[in-house]
Structure 1
Amino acid sequence: MLPARFASCALALALLAAPAAAIARASASDAPPYEAVTVFVAKKIVTMEAGQPEATAVAVDGKTGRILDVGSLETMAPWLEDVPHSVDRQFRKKVLLPGFVDPHVHPFLAGKLLTNDIAAPEAWNLPSGRIEAVTNREDFVARLTALSNAWPHDDVPQIVWGWHRLWHGDFGREDLDAIAPDKPLLIWHRSYHEIVANSKAMAMIPIPEEALERFGNQIDLERGHFAEMGMGVANMAIAPVTETPEKIAEGLDVFRVLMQRGGLTTAADMVAGSTIGIDVEWEASKAHLQGEEVPFRTLFIHAPAGWQIAAGAEAVPRFQQISGEANEQLRWPRAIKSLADGAFISQLMRMGPPGYLDGHEGEWMIPPEFQYGVVEPWWKQGYDIYYHVNGDEGLDVVLDVFEKLRNEHPRTDFRFSLEHFGMSREDQVERFARIGGGSVSINGYYAHYFADKYARHGLGYARASQMTRLGSLSRAGVPFTMHSDCPMGPLEPLLAVTTAVTRRTQEGQIMAPEQRVTVDEALRAVTIGAAWNLRLDHEIGSIAPGKKADFVVLEKNPYDVRPARIKDIGVWGTVYEGGVFEAP
């Protein structure tokens, strides 16, 4: 054995020699660290990174689908010399931005509604072609009549989606009987939250006594009208028509195409399992929303209230089981969605004083007295909360819930997102900012499609012009993002950006210019801001080394065109984790 002094010297020499040995081993290796590097060259790359806002080249590791470097061919040259790589110049005349993120969609609802006949107050560009808008009662009746005449079945209900009473007038059972006396006909409200059936269709809808007891105030049998939770009763009755495996596959194909055309590489299903049932949805998602031909990832965020009604005591174990089957493309984050008041598009949101100018009242999705109890257990377990709220009375309740959660169960790292945020007051924005830590995800299309009509019907100009008040959120320092709620709005982020920066409505009015935001703020709301809202900002939302190589490929730079023209910029396609996908 060496004496202690010699042992200490030997240890010191060994430590000094170790780095040299490591360097020698590294130098001896001929294998490059990356085997399939692609450098995409573009006219301009808008990174959404404050420290490096623009570039002309981005290097991607083909094996991991992650970004290696951002800059120019010149800045990358020193390290690229020693790495096998290819330079892809197909985007040399195009502009790259981070792949768009939609933090609130409904894939199965989109498939369920957009595969039916459509008579909506706005045009829809679908894979099957463009379906023109129907903007008055006469044309709506004419389209229903033509569709009914062409319907070949007298024992299968025909479903037409898109009815809205502010454009098409009120409809009841007798109105549809006059159009289709011998065929079953249902019209589904543009909001999805209402159904009207004719007599032939009513005969096919069993109404359990229990349903009448629980939701009787939302079911009008005489008029064939079903709203909110009552709509669910009719929905279940027609499920054998709307929820067949063929219909589901067709619907998800439509959703996939619309995602690609919109330049989207990430979306969140914000009521997972509640449209046609969790087991069917999860199996269909695995079959149709993953794989090499699907250039986007989907997050699934469940609404526990709906699951608990459907599954009772099995709801939580079933959620844990399914979320354990998640993968990189189909993800189950630790998050839930809860619901406050009714649909904005139906004017069923709960409005505080002076209420609706025609005297009607909105609806509650979950009664106010139960709101806190639904979300508290999940908040205590560290889940993020995404809260559907549309009216200012509904928002008062949700802000009470949020403040109580923060006071009784303090947390530092969380997401508490107000979803849709249709109608609000300035004091509510200020209160939300004072409570602190929350964010807002607005429907990017409400102001464009509905501000004109709501100013004339139900709300008046002062309130309708202020819907989705992004300018107030910006001034208060509240983080915000934008979503489509597809199919409540189209999967067209550039239209949402245009609306946010112009406040221009479908009729061409500028509603509340004080609520406009800058082009940069609006683009961040559909890229890095949306990624942050979903806790994915470390992975996506900007173009930076280490992040996923998700890009949208545009024909023009949104910063360089007139704000009103941003919506008209062509979307060539996307790059998803390094793979190139031209829009179909």
Structure 2
Amino acid sequence: MHFNHVIYKTLWALTSLLLFTSGASAMEKEIYLPGTGEIYKVEVVPRQPASVIYYGGDILTMDGDVPSYAEAVVTQGKKIVFVGDKKAAIKKFGSNARLIDLKGNTMLPGFLDPHSHFMSAVRMVNQVNVAAPPVGTATSIPQIIEKLKAFQEEKHIAEDGWIIGWGYDQDLIEEKRHITKKDLDAAFPKRKVMLIHVSMHGAVLNSQALKWAGIDANTKTPAGGVIARMPGSNEPAGLLMEMAYIPVFAKLPQPSEEEMLDLTKPAQMMYASNGYTQAIEGFSHAEDLDFLMKAAAQERLFLDILALPGFTEMDKWFGNPKYKFGEYHNHLKLQACKITIDGSPQGKTALVSHPYHGGGPAGQKDWKGESSITQAQLDAITRKMFDANIPLHVHANGDGAIDMMIKTIEAAGISAKDDRRTVIVHSQFQRPEHLPKYVELGLTPSYFTLHTFYWGDVHVKNIGKEAAFFISPMKAAKAAGLVMSNHTDFNVTPLDPFWVIWSAMARESRSGQIIGPDQRVDAYTALQALTTGPAWQVFEEDRKGKIREGMLADFVVIKNNPVKQKVSEIKDNEVLATVKEGKVIYKKIGI
């Protein structure tokens, strides 16, 4: 033992000599900080864990109610171990550290997706973009049909195959009407065609697809659903919405499991390239849950994926020990039950208290939208989930749907002190009196301010200026003391976080109209809705969403600091790198 000890001391001394810079003391070495010209003498600590030190840019910690910055951040493995003064960071950790100069760029905690549809990202590879600008280039029915034809040829789709388009929006094409099966049948008499509505709450099908779905003139419109009919008949026109659409979408043929598993990486990279370190799968069918669990078991997930099992398949997952809520397994967590009360405002299927201007999506008179479920059903599901201690994420767009949820929570005897953090997804057409109810009952909104750009003009036309101008009222919600988030609902709108931030600050429509000027917020509030707000909503405020010692080393490096930018410049910002638990998962710069 004595001989070995002598050898160890000799080897350590020799190694130290190689490390030490000429002129440094016996247990010190000099660290040159690239990009600064600064040289630091640091103590060599034997067997100190490898560290990474970030410095040289605005490090916006998001820790607090006002912007706060750190000179340096140090990580070891998956965690943050130091936030503060650069000199102190180098002195304490510099002897065994990799130094990363941010080169004047800005670092924040990784963006957290509050609500999207991750499985849509997986499936989009086999679908064609038929959206209008700026998401796509289609502005008329003939252009959409040409895109479908080109996709058919590119993918060599067989005569009995499917052609599926995404992003279809009748309000943004020249004809200003829904496409019908007749429009599609002329170009595609044999293949099955489906155009998924931009709201993801419906689709237009051609005759072959309707036949496959078993929908004809004798098919009754289901409760909470819409089947548009040809004028003067019961013949389906092609448009299906809500509860008429959901079962059709659920049984669409899927790629093989192996193909789907291979697509999880590019799907995650869609999020990572936009700075997200967390993605939400916003309405998970049982087969989606099984797929994601297999992907996790095979260690294919490198983002945190939070799945929301859908209320329509509770018989498959509720009470089943296979599906455990609130626990991460290789980056996958079942977070909450997803209930969908109503539809979409741009599809005129959101449940509102006053009739839509111009009637319903199928020409209905005095149309207020419909709920997907009854009040009694909503009450029962809510109580069932609360009794099982399963959180709820509830889709409610219209003020009528929000009224239903408030009534349900009151009936359940739940209040803010119970800390259930029930997320009301979208919360679009809130009325001002809803906000104190959210505070009282512990409801937390996940807003969708991108609607002010994409459909703000449509909402003013369809629902009136007063309701449209109070859509996603972030400023009023903050004043009421609510914790909130702000999302893209991808693939309803693109994942670009800077457009989310810009829309919360500008609230500018396609035409340039300001949709609710009194609800514009500052950049820091907009950033909170992509960081600290989403973390709190999923009970992870002590794990992510801030740059703080002990939390995950999840970061995004961006070109400019939104807090210091002009509002008009924010949507042109750029993600340069994304770091998840200390590993660079996306980069445009060499870090």
Q: TM-score range by the shorter chain?
A: 0.7 to 0.9
Encode CA deviations 1:245-302: one digit per residue, 9 max, x unaligned: 355246534421211111011223232335x443234324544742xxx3x2112232
Name the counterpart of 2:260.
Answer: 248
Secondary structure class of the residue paired with 1:40:
strand
Kindly indicate whether residue 425 of structure 2 is the aligned counterpart of residue 425 of structure 1.
no
Q: Offset at 1:222?
A: 2.6
Does the Cα contact within 8 Å between 2:167 and 2:492 map onto a contact in 1?
Answer: no
Instruction: Give the C-alpha shift of residue 517 in structure 1.
Output: 1.0
Pairing of 1:113-124 with structure 2 (within 5 A): 113=124, 115-124=126-135
SS in 1 for 2:556: strand
Q: Per the alignment, do residues 271 and 289 of structure 1 end up closer, same or farther by CA in structure 2, a change over 3 Å counting?
A: farther
How far did 1:453 drift?
Answer: 2.0
Is it true that 1:55 corresponds to 2:70 in the alignment? yes
* Contact 1:448-1:503 at 8 Å conserved across structures: yes
Q: Find the counterpart in structure 1 of residue 516 from structure 2.
A: 512
8 Å CA contact 1:191–1:346 kept in 2: the answer is yes
- Number of matched residues? 528
1:261 matched to 2:273: yes
* Alignment-derived partner of residue 13 in structure 1: none
* Conserved 8 A contact 1:502-1:563: yes
Pick closer, same or farther for the CA change 1:529–1:141 going to 2, 3 Å. Answer: same
Q: Give, as a single letter, the amino acid of the residue that structure 1 aligns with 2:342.
A: D
Please say if residues 167 and 197 of structure 2, whose CA atoms lie closer than 8 Å, have aligned partners that are also in contact: yes
Change (3 A) 1:354 1:181: closer
Equivalence for 1:17: none
Residue number in structure 2 paired with 1:233: 247
**Letter of the aligned partner of 1:159 in structure 2?**
I
* Matched ranges for 1:63-462 at <5 A: 65-80=78-93, 84-113=95-124, 115-124=126-135, 132-144=136-148, 146-147=150-151, 152-168=157-173, 169-206=177-214, 218-219=226-227, 222-237=236-251, 239-240=252-253, 242-245=254-257, 248-249=260-261, 251-273=263-285, 276-287=287-298, 289-290=300-301, 294=302, 296-303=303-310, 305-308=311-314, 311=316, 315-318=317-320, 320-321=322-323, 323=325, 326-327=328-329, 329-333=331-335, 335-358=336-359, 359-406=366-413, 412-433=418-439, 435-456=440-461, 458-462=462-466
Q: Distance in 2 between matches of 1:298 and 1:346?
A: 28
Please identify, of 567-576 and 144-153, the stretch whose mean Cα deviation from structure 2 is larger: 144-153
Structure 1 residues 362 and 288: alpha-carbon distance in aligned structure 2, compared to 1, 3 A threshold? farther
Q: Give yes or no for contact 2:225–2:240 (8 Å, CA) kept in 1.
A: no
Higher mean Cα deviation, 384-393 or 153-162? 153-162
Residues 206 and 431 (structure 1), Cα distance of their counterparts in 2 relative to 1, 3 Å cut: same
Matched ranges for 1:557-568 at <5 A: 557-568=561-572
Residues 342-395 of structure 1: CA distance to partner in whole angstroms, max 9, x if unpaired? 123422101112444434342322222311101112213333222110001111
More helix by share: 1
State the AA in 2 paired with 1:54. Y
Structure 1 residues 57 and 552, CA gap change in structure 2 (3 angstroms): same
SS in 1 for 2:104: strand
Does 1:38 find its partner at 2:39? no
Instruction: Name the aligned partner's letter for residue 318 of structure 1.
Output: N
Counterpart code for 2:83:
V
Q: Structure 1 pair 223/523, CA: closer, same or farther in 2 (3 Å)?
A: same
Change (3 A) 1:199 1:299: closer
Residue 572, structure 1, aligned to residue 572, structure 2: no
CA displacement, residues 98-132 of structure 1 (integer Å, 9 cap, x when unaligned): 111112121112322453011112444xxxxxxx3
TM-score normalised according to structure 1 size: 0.83
- The verdict on how the C-alpha distance between 1:288 and 1:36 changes in structure 2, with shifts beyond 3 A counting, is closer
Distance 2:449 2:48 in 1: 41
Deviation of 1:576 after TM superposition, in Å, equals 1.3
**Aligned counterparts of 2:128 and 2:458: Cα–Cα separation in 1:** 24
Aligned CA distance change for structure 1 residues 174 and 52 (closer, same or farther; 3 Å)? closer
- CA offset at residue 504 of structure 1? 1.5
Find 1:490's aligned residue among 490, 494, 513. 494
Q: Which residue of structure 2 lines up, in the alignment, with residue 128 of structure 1? A: none
Contact 1:357-1:460 within 8 A present in 2 as well = no
Q: Given residue 162 of structure 1, which amino acid in structure 2 is its aligned partner?
A: G
1:215 shift after superposition: 5.5
Q: Which runs of 5+ in 2 are unaligned?
A: 1-43, 229-234, 360-365
Q: Give the CA deviation at 1:177.
A: 1.3
Contact 1:148 1:180 in 2 (8 A): no
Tell me which residue corresponds to 1:480. 484
- Measured in 2, the distance between the counterparts of 1:99 and 1:510 equals 29
- CA 1:509–1:85 in 2, change beyond 3 Å: closer, same or farther? farther
For the 8 Å contact 2:210–2:216, the answer to whether it is kept is: no
- Cα distance change of structure 1 residues 475 and 410 upon mapping to structure 2, 3 Å threshold: closer
Deviations 1:445-502 (A, max 9, x none): 222211122223x213332232111122122222211122211222222211110011
Q: Match of 2:527, as an amino acid? A: L
8 A Cα contact 2:157 2:163, kept in partner: no
Q: What is the CA–CA distance in structure 2 between the aligned matches of 1:320 and 1:212, rounded to whole Å? A: 36
Alignment-mate amino acid for residue 269 of structure 1: E
Change (3 A) 1:324 1:577: closer
Change (3 A) 1:361 1:180: farther
RMSD after superposition: 2.9
Q: Where does residue 23 of structure 1 map in the other structure?
A: none
The one-letter amino acid of 1:387's match is: V
AA aligned opposite 2:334: W
2:536 to 518, 526, 532: 532
1:469 matched residue in structure 2 = 473
How far apart are the structure 2 equivalents of 1:94 and 1:498? 19
- The TM-score, its normalising length taken from structure 2, stands at 0.82
Q: What is the CA distance between 1:322 and its match in structure 2?
A: 5.1
3-state SS, counterpart of residue 109 of structure 1: helix
- Is contact 2:449–2:507 with CA below 8 Å preserved after alignment? no
Contact in 1 for aligned 2:224/2:373 (Cα 8 Å): no
Structure-1 residue corresponding to 2:19: none
| 8 Å contact kept, 1:137–1:167 | no
**C-alpha separation in 2, matches of 1:446 and 1:192:** 14
SS at match of 2:493: coil
Query: Is the Cα contact below 8 Å between 1:501 and 1:516 reproduced in 2?
Result: yes
SS in 2 for 1:580: strand
Instruction: Return the letter of the residue paired with 1:58.
Output: V
Using the alignment, how far apart are the partners of 2:384 and 2:57 within structure 1?
Answer: 50
Quick one: distance in 1 between partners of 2:565 and 2:225?
50
The AA in structure 2 aligned to 1:418 is: I
Q: Is the 8 A contact 1:386 1:419 kept in 2?
A: yes
Cα deviation, residue 535, structure 1: 0.9
